[in-house]
Structure 1
Amino acid sequence: MVSIIILILVLLISLITDIKKRKILNIVTLPAILYGFAYYLTENGINGFLFSGKGFLVGLGLLVIPYLLGGMGAGDVKLMAAIGALMGASFVFYSFIYTAIIGGIIALVLIAKKRGIINPIKSLLFNLTFFRSNLGSMIIADKEQKHSSISFPYGVAIVLGTFCNLVWGGFQ
């Protein structure tokens, strides 16, 4: 129960700071990670420590590659690791699935808002026609769009995905 309260506090603080400053603070995530390890160690001994450690590693592992490729910040990775340390591997995995779905929806909305809805649909239909006819794929690039990029604070998707998992649970 205490872990859930701490998780909710960490999520709310991270949501606010990520929206306002585009940062997830170490002063929030690192104590949460340490608390997760300490709490489960004292409650369940080495098995509790391993439970928290496995959650930490799964949370870290899920986002470390996108971080290394420059797709997100280190704070997002540490937030997911903190969720894992507080709640375990299974919980952080299902939170990640919800997060990916929510992040994808946010990205689609932002793309449609920035570039309009008609051009992406025409591009998609054009590419689908090429795939169906086995002529290969073709990248359609607009010179104006070539240098534009769309980004958003991914911590928002992480927080919403984790709240979805708290409310609805996994997919079992």
Structure 2
Amino acid sequence: MIIKIILVIILLISLYTDVKNRKILNIITLPSILIGFIYHFATQGFEGFLFSGKGFLTGLGLLIIPYLLGGMGAGDVKLLAAIGALMGTSFVFYSFIYIGLIGGLIALVLLIRNKGLVDLIKSFFYTIAFFRSNLGSMFISKDKPSRISFPYGIAIVLGTLCTLFWGGF
């Protein structure tokens, strides 16, 4: 029960800092990772250490590629790794599924709100129609900024809370 309380606390702090400053702080994520390892080692011995380690590596592995491609910040990766260290592999994997669904929904709402969805669909169909040539670009407005971003910590927190309250699939 204590580990779930710690999880909720780090999620709420991370949500606040990510929305306010667009940063998930190391002072939150790194001690959380350490707490996960220590707690599970103290309660279950070496098996608990492995449980926490596998969860940590799973959380890290799930978001490292998007981070390396520039799609998200390092704080997002460390937060998911901390969630894995605290809660284990299956929990972080189910959270990742919820996170992806919620993040996609948020992105879709932002695209519709900024009317970027129409341009995205036009670009997709022109690319197919003209066999990946650049002819479609003359029909699509380039006046608007093409990059829409949001603090992904929102999706991470909501997805993790969904897993915490509803469990896996």
Q: TM-score, normalised by structure 1?
A: 0.87
Instruction: Mark the runs of 5 or more structure 2 residues left unpaired by the alignment.
Output: none
Structure 2 CA distance for partners of 1:145 and 1:102, relative to 1, 3 Å: farther
Amino acid at match of 2:72: M
Give aligned pairs, total.
166
User: Distance in 2 between the 1:136 and 1:32 partners?
Assistant: 49
Q: Matched residues in 1 for 2:147 and 2:118: separation?
A: 18
In the alignment, is residue 150 of structure 1 matched against residue 148 of structure 2? yes
1:13 Cα deviation after fit? 0.3
**What's the Cα RMSD here?**
2.1
Give, as a single letter, the amino acid of the residue that structure 2 aligns with 1:36. Answer: G
Deviation, 1:138, is 6.8
Contact 2:119 2:141 in 1 (8 A): no
1:166 aligns with 2:143: no
* Structure 1 runs not aligned, ≥5 long: none
Task: Report the counterpart of residue 83 of structure 2 in structure 1.
Answer: 83
Match of 1:112 in 2: 112
Q: Deviations over 1:49-87 (max 9, x none)?
A: 000000000000000000011110000000000000000
After TM superposition, the structure 1 = structure 2 runs for residues 44-63 of structure 1, keeping only pairs within 5 Å, are 44-63=44-63
Q: Show the counterpart of 2:95.
A: 95
Aligned counterpart, 1:67 = 67
Q: Are the equivalent residues in 1 in contact too, given 2:37–2:85 (CA < 8 A)?
A: yes
Q: Structure 2-normalised TM-score?
A: 0.89
CA 1:137/1:74 → structure 2, altered by over 3 Å: closer, same or farther?
Answer: same
Question: Structure 2 CA distance, aligned partners of 1:34 and 1:74?
Answer: 17
C-alpha separation in 1, matches of 2:50 and 2:143? 47
- SS at 2:24 equivalent: coil
Tell me the amino acid that sits aligned with residue 109 of structure 1. V
The separation in 2 between residues aligned to 1:117 and 1:104, in whole angstroms, is 13
Provide the identity percentage. Answer: 65
Relative to structure 1, the CA distance from residue 94 to residue 71 in structure 2 (aligned partners, 3 Å threshold; closer, same or farther) is same
Q: Residues of 1 paired with 2:156 and 2:116: CA distance?
A: 26
What secondary structure sits across from 2:72 in the alignment? coil
